Amino acid sequence: MRTALIGYGLGGAAFHAPFIDTTPGLRLAAVVTGNPERRAEVGARYPGADLIASPEELWARADEFDLAVVTTPNRLHAEHARAALEHGLNAVVDKPFAGSAAVARGLADLAASRGLLLAPFHNRRWDGDFRTVSRLVGDGELGRVHRFESRFERWRPEVRDSWKESGDPADLGSIVFDLGTHLVDQAIALFGRPTSVYAEVRVLRPGAKADDDAFLALTHAGGVVSHLWASALAASPGPRFRVLGDRSAFVKSGMDPQEEALKAGAVPGGPGWGEDAEERWGLLGSTPVRTEPGAYQEFYAAVAAGAAPVPVADAVAGLEVLEAAFESARTGAVISLAH
C-alpha cells in the first residue's frame, strides 16, 4: 500500500513513519509537511519518500497513493480524514479520532459507503503492560474483575507553548482528548462500552488554559468499574495499572518502553523489541509476572492485511464517553449513556 503520512511532528516521526517503513505490505511513499527542518529530517531518514508541502497537494495527487495516515494537530484529524476518504484513500487517523461522536459516525458512514478502510490509531492497545492485563483478565487469573484502575500521570508543572496547551475548544487540547483517549479506549477494549460516566476535569497549573488533570469513573454493563486518571501535575504517580478481582489482584508501575525507544530513533520490531525490564514486572498477588512484549508493529501489520485493528465503533464509543465526561465535570452529575 503506497502510504502518505500527513504530519511529521512527534506522532509522525516516532509512532507512524518507523512502522510504515518496516511493515511488509506498506511503503512510505510520501510525507506531507511544510516545515523545512522536518522536511530535511525526512529526506535524511527516508530518502525514498516524496516530500509534499501540503494536504491540498496530496489530494491533487491522490491517485498515486492507497493509504493516508493522519497525524496532524487534533483539530484537523476529522477534516483530513474526510478529505482522504473523499479522494478514495484508505485512512488511519491518530487520536482523538474526531472532536465528537457525531463527526466520527459521519466518517464511519463515508468510509463504509466508499468501501474504504478507516482505522483509529489507538496504539496503546499494544502496550506490553496492557497486553499483560488483557491476558490475565481473559485467562481468569484475577477471577471476576470488579475494579480496573488505570493511570497516565506525569510531572510537567511548566506549561508548554503548544497547541496541546491551547484553551480554544476547537484545538481539542484537553488532557481528556490526549491521554484520556487512551485510558478510555483501553477500558472499552477490556470491558465494553460503559453505561454511565462520572468525571472531574480541572485546570491546575498556573498559566494553563487547557485541562491538565482529570479523573473518570466508568461503570460497565457487566458491573466492572473503571477508575481512570490523567494528569500533568502528579509529582508522585500512582501505579500504571491496579486491577482487582475476587480471586487476585494485579499491580503494575512504570511505562511501556516502546515510546522512549522510538523517540531515541530505534527501529521497531527487532530482537528484544518492547521487552520490559524484569525489575519493572507487575505483581499478581505477590508473584512477579513477565510483561508481555509491547507490539505497536501489530497495528500496521493488520492495516497492511486490509483490516482495521481497532473498530471505528470503539472510537465512537470512546468519544461518547469523553462527551459524557465533560458534561459530568460541568454539572457534577453521573451521566447515563443511551444504548
pLDDT tens, position by position, 141-181: 999 999 999 999 999 999 998 888 899 999 999 999 999 99
Give the structural domain span for 131.
125-294+309-336
Q: 102 and 201: one domain?
A: no
| Number of domains making up the chain | 2
Q: What is the pLDDT of residue 181?
A: 97
301 domain-assigned: no
Distances (CA, A) of 308 to 88, 91, 157: 17, 10, 37
Buried b or exposed e, range 281-306, using 16+ CB within 10 angstroms: bbebeeeebebbbbbbbbbbbbbbee
Residue 338 confidence (pLDDT) above 90 = no
Q: 43 and 172: one domain?
A: no
Global model pTM greater than 0.85: yes
Domain CATH code at residue 251: 3.30.360.10
Cell 483539530: give the residue. 75
Q: What is the pLDDT of residue 72?
A: 97
299 domain-assigned: no
Q: 154 and 100: one domain?
A: no
Q: 11 and 31: one domain?
A: yes
Domain C-terminal end among 87, 121, 155: 121
Q: Per-residue confidence at 269, pLDDT binned at 50, 70, 90?
A: confident
Domain C-terminal end among 74, 106, 121: 121
Distances (CA, A) of 321 to 190, 248, 302, 334: 15, 28, 26, 12
- Give the C-alpha separation, 185 to 110, whole Å: 22
Closest CA to 97 of 217, 218, 185, 1: 185
